[in-house]
Structure 1
Amino acid sequence: MKCPYCKQADSRVIDSRAAEDGATIRRRRECNGCGKRFTTYEVVEKLPLMVVKNDGRREVFKRDKILNGVIRSCDKRDISMERIVALVNDVERDVRNTMEQEVESAKIGELVMERLKDFDEVAYIRFASVYRKFADITSFVEELNKLQAHKTEEQK
Structure 2
Amino acid sequence: MSGHGAPTSQPFDASGLRVAVVAATWHTQVMDGLVAGAERALAAYGISQPEIVRVPGTFELPVVAAALAKAGYDAVVALGVVIRGGTPHFDYVCSAATDGLTQVSVDHAMPVGFGVLTCDTEEQAIARAGLEGSSEDKGWEATAAALDTARIVRAIA
Bin the TM-score by the shorter chain. under 0.3
TM score, norm. by length of structure 1: 0.27
TM score, norm. by length of structure 2: 0.27
